[in-house]
Structure 1
Amino acid sequence: MPVITVRIDDELKEKMDQLSYINWSEVIRRSIISVIEEENKKRKENFKKKDNDRIKRASVKAEEFYAYLGGEKSEEKIREWRDKNWQL
């Protein structure tokens, strides 16, 4: 198992020594796990937000495209674009 080192000041060390029955390694381990879980939760929320933003932009583009078609069949419009050497 890997070992990490944490530096603390003398005052904090004295306070920890007064509570010597506490497993400080476990306290630190739990704290690290808690921070990792919180950060992962934030990441997931950010990804969801970005996905929602992408979906909204795609929806707007789709609405613009349908408005551009103006009732024409999409196949006809695509053929027109291809004939003009446009790329989708």
Structure 2
Amino acid sequence: MDVVPYFAERVFVLHHGKLEADGSPEEIFNDPELLRKAHLKLPRVAEVFEMLQQEGIDVDIQITAETARDEILRIIGSVHQKAGMK
């Protein structure tokens, strides 16, 4: 699943031969329950962001290393801003 966001523009999720979802990688991977229902895993990057959400951290699930970097930098900037740091 880790390479899907890099190569697919559209993702179909099938479960027992039934189409459960059809959308962009971002749309599909931002619904972890849908994937679990179909016995699929999130990309590892997305798993980390889901764990952060479960810890109460306000983050969006990211599916590529590049978008994860941007989200982490956003969080760091927000923390620094709240602390009055540059």
Instruction: Decide which structure has greater helix share.
Output: 1
- Say whether the fold is shared (TM-score over 0.5): no
User: What interval of TM-score do these two structures reach, taking the shorter chain for normalisation?
Assistant: under 0.3
Q: Normalised by the size of structure 1, how large is the TM-score? A: 0.27
Instruction: Decide which structure has greater strand share.
Output: 2
Q: Which has the higher contact order (CA 8 A, sep 6+)?
A: 2
Q: Normalised by the size of structure 2, how large is the TM-score? A: 0.27
